[in-house]
């Protein structure tokens, strides 16, 4: 973050609220306008709520970079990035509906409480009309609930739990990122190709909501293709030393270890599993294998050479070959000097999708935006043809299956793409049992 | 007045006036100006100021008076929040039953945990309370998910029964006090300024004033005297044949109930209860608030709570863009230097600033912010040096006790 | 049986990390009477000594390889560490490979220096202040230290692998007559265990058999009297602070291959190490070591599937549960003295 080139012009704030208040003392109640934080001046404020402290701070920093890039492109600065490849041509680089895009930032601390406080302050103090970002499902669900109540749109950042668009789905909330079910559905055929159908899996699962949905999804998908499940073991979040959980794996009769961990837990459990020599071992006459269903390329760096050959899934990878990806990687890479992470990609796309929806609806009203996004089909954003499904506000698109590289040329080539799983294979019914129990409710414009 | 001495009444009136006009005092800069960044007068943060004020006042009753340093007080905050949200889910969106239940539940837990923990003193007591709180946090995050909804936190859903209110249709219902919605806010525009007056804030502020008043009464009562005696020399108390445990336990339960009230209010303002509220860092935070403001003083904990919450919510939001805006008047080179110098301390660096502030306060103002205020005050009115001030009174007692 | 044996091994390993941190904490508390909340940060700084050395060793000269391209299509910049240029690729790579053990040589002077600066610059002024103030100021210091590390190294964990020679694991089970693979244990963890044993033994021997140590022990028991005898106890205590910092730092260095270091690893260990110290009994060195191993082993047992199926979630709370039980049955922990930190 130290060497960034900010365009000064892009940051000068227009006294939108100030000019509104310059009139004689008058009393307004908050219900004066049709919806929460209706932009009145020549600019519109978006709120980017990312983890800036805590374990996911680096991911948050990358999300913030992507948001800044998106704002530049929306305001017609820079090379336009994915605006040039986006199938919808409503955006023309003059901000949103002619209003210049400004943004405020907040720190989620990866805690539901702090994230809600930060979002509240952006809504109440800064007049944000949309909140985006985040790097964990707990935070996403909590902030999504808040946005629903406050009457602003929530464009989820990195959140992978089924619940975000499952039992905790909300009318004002939208998720572009994929989920645990999709990971499992994309990964299972690849695992079958790599390791066959005669396998016995041992699950180590982070003991909280995301871990459980990940475990449930991957176990169901692998069992469907003939694998057996030897054991499902829950590990405390942030355990650090996983030796007591890894040691019994060797004797359990299992021949695949599935690590349903993310972030620091993933780095540690994977490194330690490799240290225990699991991968040099034979079990049931086959080589022992390790699988990490959800990859985070930023965090994978922390595991170093331990990830070589380990399969997993990603929402997107900068090495994809389509035009949208190339355009985004080019503008991001030229601005910051390194390729974007999948967290950055999803946040960038979400910001653009929101702006596009507002433009098509010709209205900032959350209900109009919801209507414009529901059932919206688009392309050119890096994942092929994509649908924002109306029933649960989840994006359906291709999923990338990756594998740790054996000899990476640099730290950006730690994973290589194995397969791009087509949309059809990861699509599920909106009332699928793993996503049941929730209701979108009605969109809430607030005020 | 109200059974208080003159100077205490004065203090109470000052505090009441400040809380009453907080929406104006906390928004000193016109909206849209460059300094508006430092405005703190929006409902959510003001509510947090007073709610964490309650939490710290309660903690101070235990720590400031008896010297028992609990490192697990956040558990009661969490229990209060969970109870309140369950009340919203099952009974009614009215905040009164929710808050009553949160105080009662926190009190019950405090009774049990206090009864066990108070068998030890000093750091052994601190570790016992820490252990109980960490156990609650870890279980709430994982195994107890059916009750607490784990990582995400307990929240309202459309399908909740809400016996008194009946099933909700459309959007989620909002918390209210007999029809007055907590989130209702009236915004007043005066010239370039804008001030938010929110129902939730004034409801919390009223409860904080009650809590503050009760704490003043406790500080000045024979019971408070007894607690101070425990702090100065428990052994001597025991030798005189007096069993101090009931007194300390009472203080523990009272301060647990304060924490429960704060937790219930947090849920009433924003009906979500996360497990993070019970983590040891949250317990540490209230310790920091109290010591930072001035342990054992009446107003100190409230100041400390405001100080920390201000940092958390205001400094974390300053980003490089805003810095560039501030220094835009400078020549480009100088502007970039200024931004580069300040950059590590704002935004994602707010923890660093907070850490440095702690150290400075502890090193140079052992009595906390209250002592700082007194020193400044003394500079300006030297003649009153001997005047007997409420806070210096308490501060001296603290010094004597150590 | 083999399942239990392997958990004992795991427990010993975890325990040796706990014991090392708790030992330093107790040294500081016992000699200086200071509750040092920045001790976890010292552990973290030690770990980052290894990271720093690794970074220094891999400072590279950049050459352009026109054959290959980077992600933007520009010619790829190939980095070769200077050490490989100087000593030839093989020896150079071996030096980089051994970065973690070599970091011990860097960590000892750095940590002793950090310890001196902390004690002389800050802690010294807090001897007469209440424990609450000590906790607050060292807690503030811990935050500042970890934020500084975060500023330079980022928030993500950084991989610091053990030397190639120590990768893989040892099949201990075969020696003991079990089936192959029933008890296998990574070489590096065995190294860590023996390393911890040597450090602990070294500290005890130092205190037990040297004149210096004798004076310090006397000072721990009765500071005033030792001062009256005309011995400059302060200077010795400063040295002890440096020693304690070095112990924490070395624990950190050697732990990096097991746990990729990140800036908040100190805070993660802080609460745990305090529980260990208190369970052991404030101010008791053998108590701290004993409690470290005890809690490590119990935690490992609690993680066994058989135990977890009986008591779900027990592995999350076992440490705290044990702490409560011990403190209620033994008022001053396992080996604590009367009157220490009880007021």
pLDDT range class, residue B335, cuts 50, 70, 90: confident
- A316 Cβ contact list (under 8 Å, min separation 6): A325, A342, A345, A346, A382, A383, A400
Q: For residues B238 and A322, what is the distance between their CA atoms, to the nearest angstrom? A: 79
- 3-class secondary structure, A32: helix
Following DSSP, what letter does each residue of A278-318 receive, concatenated?
GGG-EETTEE-EEE-SB--HHHHHHHGGGGTT-EEEES--T
Please name the residue of chain B whose CA is at the shortest distance from the CA of residue C150: B349
Backbone angles phi, psi at B32, to 5 degrees: 90, -15
- Cα–chain-centroid distance for residue A291? 21
pLDDT at residue B103 tops 60: yes
Are residues A291 and A219 in contact, defined by beta-carbon separation less than 8 angstroms? Answer: no
pLDDT of chain A along its 447 residues, tens only?
Answer: 333 333 333 333 333 333 333 333 344 444 456 788 888 888 999 999 999 888 888 899 999 999 999 999 999 998 989 999 999 999 988 999 999 999 999 999 888 888 998 999 899 888 899 999 988 898 999 999 999 988 999 999 999 999 999 988 999 999 999 999 999 999 999 999 999 999 999 999 998 888 999 999 999 999 999 999 999 999 988 888 898 899 888 888 899 999 999 988 899 999 999 888 888 888 888 899 999 999 888 878 888 888 889 999 999 999 999 999 999 999 999 999 899 999 999 999 999 999 999 999 999 999 999 999 999 999 999 999 999 999 999 999 999 999 998 888 778 888 999 999 999 999 999 889 999 888 888 888 876
Distance CA A347, CA C184 (A): 44
Q: What is the DSSP letter of A394?
A: B
Q: Is B121 on the interface with C (CB under 8 A)?
A: yes
| Nearby residues of A85 by Cβ (< 8 Å), 6 or more positions away | A323, A324, A327, A380, A381
CA-based end-to-end distance of chain B: 33
In angstroms, the CA C278 to CA C335 distance is 10
Between positions 218 and 237 of B, the ones with CB within 8 A of C are 234
The confidence band for B16, taking pLDDT boundaries of 50, 70 and 90, is very high
CA–CA separation, B128 and A142 (whole Å): 31
- Residue C331 token pair: 């008022």
Contacts of A251 in chain C (CB under 8 A): 2-3, 181-182
CA-closest candidate to residue B67, choices B258, B228, B212, B220: B228
B31 — phi, psi (to 5°)? -60, 140
Q: How far is C272 from chain A (nearest CA, A)?
A: 12
A231 located within any domain: yes
pLDDT of B56 reads 94
Position C19 scores a pLDDT of 92
Give pLDDT tens digits for C52-76.
999 888 888 888 877 777 777 777 7
B91, B278 contact by CB (below 8 A): no
SS (H, E, C) B97-127: HHHHHHHHHHHHHHHHHHHHHCCCCHHHHHH
Distance from C-alpha of C84 to C-alpha of A427, rounded to nearest angstrom: 51
pLDDT score of B149 more than 60: yes
Among B127, B138, B355, whose Cβ lies nearest the Cβ of C327?
Answer: B127
A187 in the same domain as A61: no
Distances (CA, A) of C120 to A161, C116, C124, C130: 50, 6, 6, 18
Residues A153 and A268 placed together within one structural domain of the fold: no
Q: What pLDDT, on a 0 to 100 scale, did the predictor assign at position B336?
A: 84
Residue A185 domain-assigned? yes
Q: How many CB pairs under 8 A join B and C?
A: 121
> Do A218 and A299 belong to one domain?
yes
Q: Say if residue A255 is in the same domain as residue A309.
A: yes
- Cross-chain residue pair A275–C155, CB shorter than 8 Å: no
Q: Tell which A residues from 127 to 166 touch C, by Cβ distance under 8 Å.
A: none
User: Which residue is it, tokens 């990476």?
Assistant: A408
B69 touches chain C (CB under 8 A): yes
Nearest residue of chain C to residue B368 (CA atoms) = C133
Instruction: Round to whole Å and give the CA distance between C178 and C180.
Output: 6
Number of neighbouring beta carbons within 10 Å of residue A437: 14
- The dihedral region occupied by A423, where left means phi > 0, alpha psi between -120 and 50, and beta the remainder, is alpha
Give yes or no for a contact between A164 and A179, defined as CB atoms under 8 angstroms apart.
yes
Contact assignment for A275 to C68 by CB distance below 8 Å = no
Confidence of residue C203 (pLDDT cuts 50, 70, 90): very high
Q: Tell whether B152 is within 8 A of chain A (Cβ).
A: yes
Looking from the CA of B57 toward its CB, the CA atoms found within 13 Å total 28
Q: Is B142 at the interface with chain C, CB within 8 A?
A: yes
Three-state DSSP at A204 gives strand
CB contacts of B268 in chain A (<8 Å) are none
Count the Cβ atoms, other than its own, within 10 Å of residue A425: 13
Chains that touch B (3 or more CB pairs under 8 A): A, C
Could you give the number of structural domains in chain A? 2
CB-based contact (8 Å) between A28 and chain B? yes
Domain region containing A212:
181-314+401-426
For residues A316 and B151, the model is more confident at A316
CA distance A73 to chain C (A): 19
More confident residue, C80 or B22: B22
Pair B346, B315: CB distance under 8 Å: yes
- Give yes or no: residues A162 and A220 share one domain: no
- Chain B nearest-CA residue for C311: B143
Q: Which of A2, A16, A105 sits opposite B319 (nearest CB)?
A: A105
The tokens describing C60, both together, are 């590279």
Same domain (yes/no): A70, A189:
no
In a domain, A4, yes or no: no
Residue C283 token pair? 């101010």
Give the pLDDT confidence score for residue B170 in this predicted structure.
66
Mean pLDDT of chain B: 85
Phi and psi at C167, nearest 5°, equal: -75, 160
Cα–Cα distance measured from residue C132 to residue B67, given in angstroms and rounded to the nearest whole number: 10
As given in the structure block, the two tokens for residue C150 are 């975060």
Residue entry with tokens 């005669």 = A198
In a domain, A447, yes or no: no
- Are the beta carbons of C323 and B402 separated by less than 8 Å? no
How far apart CA C50 and CA C39 sit, in angstroms, is: 18
The backbone region for B127, taken as left when phi is positive above 0, alpha when psi lies in -120 to 50, beta otherwise, is alpha
As a whole number, the mean pLDDT across chain C is: 86
pLDDT of residue C230: 79
A429 exposure class (CB count in 10 Å sphere: 0-12, 13-18, 19+): exposed
Residue A383: CATH number of its domain: 3.40.50.2300
Strand partners for B193: B190
Tokens linked to A33 = 């306008």
User: In Å, how far is A259's CA from the nearest CA of chain B?
Assistant: 17
Whether A134 is covered by a domain: the verdict is yes
Q: Among A15, A25, A52, whose Cβ lies nearest the Cβ of B190?
A: A25
Q: How far apart are CA C13 and CA A241, in angstroms?
A: 10
Residues 6+ apart with CB under 8 A from A33: A40, A447
Do residues A185 and A243 share a domain?
A: yes
Closest by CA position to A114, among listed A77, A82, A143: A143
Question: Minimal CA–CA distance to A107: which of A119, A92, A91, A95?
Answer: A119
Joined together, the tokens standing for residue B288 give: 């920091």
- Considering the domain architecture, whether residues A208 and A228 belong to the same structural domain is answered as yes
The candidate with the shortest Cα–Cα distance to A351, out of A129, A113, A79, is: A129
Instruction: Give the separation between CA A36 and CA A33, rounded to whole angstroms.
Output: 7
Q: Are residues A149 and A248 in the same domain?
A: no
For chain A, count helices (H), then strands (E).
Answer: 13, 18
Of the listed ranges B10-24, B89-103, B158-172, the least confidently predicted one is B158-172
pLDDT computed for residue A53 by the predictor: 84
User: Are residues A342 and A383 located together in one domain of the fold?
Assistant: yes
How high is the pLDDT of residue C289?
93
Same structural domain, A202 and A146: no
Pick the residue with more confidence: B231 or B381? Answer: B231
Nearest to B152 among A19, A29, A209 (CB): A209
Rounded mean pLDDT, B168-195: 79
- At C289, which helix (H) or strand (E)? helix C285-302
Residues with Cβ within 8 Å of B257's Cβ and at least 6 positions away in sequence, in order, are B58, B76, B103, B106, B107, B110
Residues A41, B311, A159, CA angle at the centre, nearest 5°?
Answer: 70
Listed by number, the residues of chain B in 169-188 with a beta carbon closer than 8 Å to a beta carbon of chain A are 170-172, 174, 183-188
Task: Based on the fold, state whether residues A173 and A202 are members of the same structural domain.
Answer: no
SS3 assignment for chain B: CCCCCHHHHHHHHHHHHHHHCHHHHCCCCCCCCHHHHHCCCCHHHHHHHHHHHHHHHHHHHHHHHHCCCCCCCHHHHHHHHHHHHHHHHHCCCEHHHHHHHHHHHHHHHHHHHHHHHCCCCHHHHHHHHHHHHHHHHHHHHCCCHHHHCCCCCEECCCCCCCCCCCCCCCCCCCCEECCEECCCEEEEEECCEEEEEEHHHHHHHHHHHHHHHHHHHHHHCHHHHHHHHHHHCHHHHHHCCCCCHHHHHHHHHHHHHHHHHHHHHHHHHCCEECHHHHCHHHHHHHHHHHHHHCCCCCCHHHHHHHHHHHHHHHHHHCCHHHHHHHHHHCCHHHHHHHHHHHHHHCHHHHHHHHHHHHHHHHHHCCCHHHHHHHHHHHHHCHHHHHCCCHHHHHHHHHHHHC
Residue bearing tokens 């093989």: C90
- Length of chain A equals 447
pLDDT classification of C96: cutoffs 50, 70, 90: confident
State the angle between helix axes of B43-66 and B280-293 in degrees (0 to 180), rounded to the nearest 10: 80
Of B122, B141, B363, the CB nearest to C342: B122
pTM for the structure as a whole: 0.89
What was the pLDDT predicted at B1? 59
Question: Which residues of chain C neighbour A272 with C-beta distances below 8 Å?
Answer: 186, 258
* CA separation for the pair A401, B142 (Å, rounded): 29
């Amino acid at each position: 973050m130290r060497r960034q080139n900010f365009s000064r012009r892009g940051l000068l704030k227009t006294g939108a609220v100030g000019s509104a208040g310059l009139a004689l003392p008058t009393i307004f109640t908050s219900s004066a306008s049709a919806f929460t934080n209706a932009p009145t001046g020549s600019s519109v404020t978006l709120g980017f709520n990312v983890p800036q402290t805590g374990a996911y701070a680096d991911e948050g920093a990358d999300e913030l970079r992507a948001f800044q890039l998106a704002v530049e492109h929306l305001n017609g600065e820079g090379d336009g990035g994915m605006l040039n490849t986006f199938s919808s041509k409503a955006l023309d680089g003059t901000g949103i509906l002619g209003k210049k895009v400004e943004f405020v930032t907040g720190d989620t601390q990866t805690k539901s409480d702090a994230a809600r406080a930060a979002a509240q302050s952006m809504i109440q103090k800064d007049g944000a009309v949309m909140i985006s970002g985040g790097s964990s499902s707990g935070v996403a669900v909590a902030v999504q609930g808040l946005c629903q109540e406050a009457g602003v749109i929530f464009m989820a950042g990195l959140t992978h739990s089924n619940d975000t668009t499952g039992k905790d789905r909300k009318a004002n909330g939208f998720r572009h990122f994929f989920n645990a079910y999709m990971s499992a559905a994309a990964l299972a055929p690849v695992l079958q190709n790599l390791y066959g159908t005669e396998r016995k899996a041992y699950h180590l699962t982070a003991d909280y909501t995301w871990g459980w949905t990940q475990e449930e999804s991957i176990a169901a998908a692998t069992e469907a293709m003939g694998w057996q499940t030897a054991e499902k073991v829950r590990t405390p979040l942030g355990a650090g030393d996983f030796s007591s959980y890894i040691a019994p794996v060797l004797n359990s009769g299992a021949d695949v270890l599935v690590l349903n961990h993310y972030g620091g837990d993933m780095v540690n459990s994977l490194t330690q599993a490799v240290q225990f020599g699991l991968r040099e071992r034979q079990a049931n006459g086959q080589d022992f294998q390790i699988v990490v269903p959800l990859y985070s390329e930023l965090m994978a760096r922390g595991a170093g050479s331990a990830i070589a050959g380990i399969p997993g899934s990603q929402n997107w990878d900068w090495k994809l070959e389509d035009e949208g990806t190339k355009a985004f990687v080019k503008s991001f890479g030229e601005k910051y000097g390194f390729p974007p992470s999948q967290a950055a990609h999803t946040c960038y796309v979400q910001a653009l999708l929101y702006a596009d929806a507002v433009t098509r609806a010709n209205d900032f009203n959350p209900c109009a935006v919801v209507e414009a996004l529901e059932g919206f089909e688009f392309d050119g954003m890096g994942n092929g043809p994509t649908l924002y499904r109306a029933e649960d506000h989840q994006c359906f698109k291709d999923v990338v299956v990756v594998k740790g590289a054996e000899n990476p040329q640099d730290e950006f080539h730690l994973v290589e793409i194995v397969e791009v799983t087509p949309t059809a294979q990861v699509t599920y019914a909106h009332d699928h049992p793993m996503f049941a129990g929730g209701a979108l409710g009605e969109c809430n414009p607030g005020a | 007045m109200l059974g208080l001495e003159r100077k205490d009444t004065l203090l109470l009136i000052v505090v009441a006036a400040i809380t009453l006009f907080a929406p104006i005092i906390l928004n000193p800069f016109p909206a849209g100006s460059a300094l508006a960044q430092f405005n703190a007068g929006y409902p959510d943060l003001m509510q947090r100021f007073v709610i964490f004020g309650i939490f710290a006042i309660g903690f101070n009753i235990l720590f400031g008076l008896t010297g028992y340093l609990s490192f697990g007080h956040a558990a009661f905050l969490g229990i209060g929040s969970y109870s309140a949200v369950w009340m919203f889910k099952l009974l009614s969106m009215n905040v009164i039953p929710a808050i009553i239940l949160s105080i009662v539940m926190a009190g019950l837990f405090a009774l049990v945990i206090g009864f066990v923990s108070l068998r030890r003193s000093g750091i052994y007591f601190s570790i016992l309370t820490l252990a109980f709180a960490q156990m609650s946090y870890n279980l709430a995050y994982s195994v107890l998910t059916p009750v607490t909804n784990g990582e995400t936190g307990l929240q309202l859903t459309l399908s909740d029964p809400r016996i008194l209110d009946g099933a909700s249709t459309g959007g989620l219902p909002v918390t209210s006090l007999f029809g007055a919605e907590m989130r209702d806010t009236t915004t007043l525009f005066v010239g370039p300024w804008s001030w938010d007056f929110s129902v939730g804030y004034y409801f919390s502020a009223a409860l904080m004033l009650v809590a503050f008043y009760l704490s003043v009464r406790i500080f000045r009562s024979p019971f408070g005297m007894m607690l101070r005696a425990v702090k100065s020399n428990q052994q001597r108390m025991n030798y005189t044949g007096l069993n101090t445990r009931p007194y300390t336990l009472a203080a523990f339960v009272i301060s647990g109930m304060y924490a429960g009230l704060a937790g219930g209010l947090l849920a009433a303002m924003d009906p979500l209860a996360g497990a993070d509220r019970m983590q040891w860092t949250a317990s540490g935070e209230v310790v920091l608030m109290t010591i930072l403001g001035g342990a054992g003083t009446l107003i100190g904990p409230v100041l400390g709570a405001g100080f920390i919450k201000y940092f958390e919510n205001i400094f974390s939001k300053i980003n490089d863009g805003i810095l560039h805006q501030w220094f835009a008047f400078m020549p480009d080179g100088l502007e970039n230097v200024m931004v580069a110098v300040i950059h590590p301390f704002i935004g994602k660096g707010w923890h660093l600033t907070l850490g440095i502030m702690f150290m400075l306060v502890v090193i140079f103002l052992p009595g906390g912010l209250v002592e700082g205020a007194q020193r400044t005050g003394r500079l300006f009115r030297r003649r009153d040096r001997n005047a007997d001030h409420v806070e210096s009174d308490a501060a001296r007692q603290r010094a004597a006790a150590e | 049986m083999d399942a239990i044996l392997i958990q004992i091994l795991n427990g010993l390993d975890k325990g040796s990390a706990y014991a090392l941190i708790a030992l330093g904490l107790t040294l500081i508390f016992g000699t200086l009477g200071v509750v040092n909340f920045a001790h976890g940060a010292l552990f973290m700084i030690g770990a980052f000594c290894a990271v720093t050395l690794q970074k220094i060793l891999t400072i590279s000269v950049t050459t352009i390889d026109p054959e290959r391209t980077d992600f933007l299509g520009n010619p790829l910049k190939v980095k070769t560490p200077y050490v490989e240029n100087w000593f030839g690729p093989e020896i150079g790579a071996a030096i980089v490979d051994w970065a973690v053990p070599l970091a011990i040589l860097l960590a000892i002077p750095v940590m002793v220096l950090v310890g001196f600066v902390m004690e002389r610059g800050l802690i010294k002024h807090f001897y007469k202040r209440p424990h609450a103030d000590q906790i607050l100021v060292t807690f503030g210091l811990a935050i500042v230290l970890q934020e500084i590390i975060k500023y330079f190294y980022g928030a993500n964990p950084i991989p610091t692998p053990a030397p190639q020679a120590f990768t893989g694991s040892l099949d201990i089970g075969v020696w003991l007559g079990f089936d192959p693979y029933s008890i296998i244990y990574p070489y590096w963890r065995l190294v860590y265990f023996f390393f911890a044993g040597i450090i602990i033994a070294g500290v005890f021997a130092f205190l037990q058999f040297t004149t210096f140590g004798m004076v310090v022990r006397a000072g721990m028991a009765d500071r005033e009297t030792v001062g009256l005898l005309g011995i400059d106890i302060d200077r010795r205590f400063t040295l002890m602070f440096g020693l304690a910092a070095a112990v924490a730092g070395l624990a950190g260095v050697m732990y990096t291959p097991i746990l990729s270091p990140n800036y908040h690893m100190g805070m993660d260990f802080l609460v745990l190490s305090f529980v260990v110290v208190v369970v052991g009994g404030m101010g008791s060195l053998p108590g701290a070591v004993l409690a470290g191993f005890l809690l490590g082993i119990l935690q490992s047992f609690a993680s066994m599937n058989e135990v977890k199926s009986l008591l779900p979630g027990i592995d999350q709370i076992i440490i705290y549960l044990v702490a409560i039980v011990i403190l209620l049955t033994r008022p001053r922990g396992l080996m604590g003295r009367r009157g220490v930190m009880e007021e």
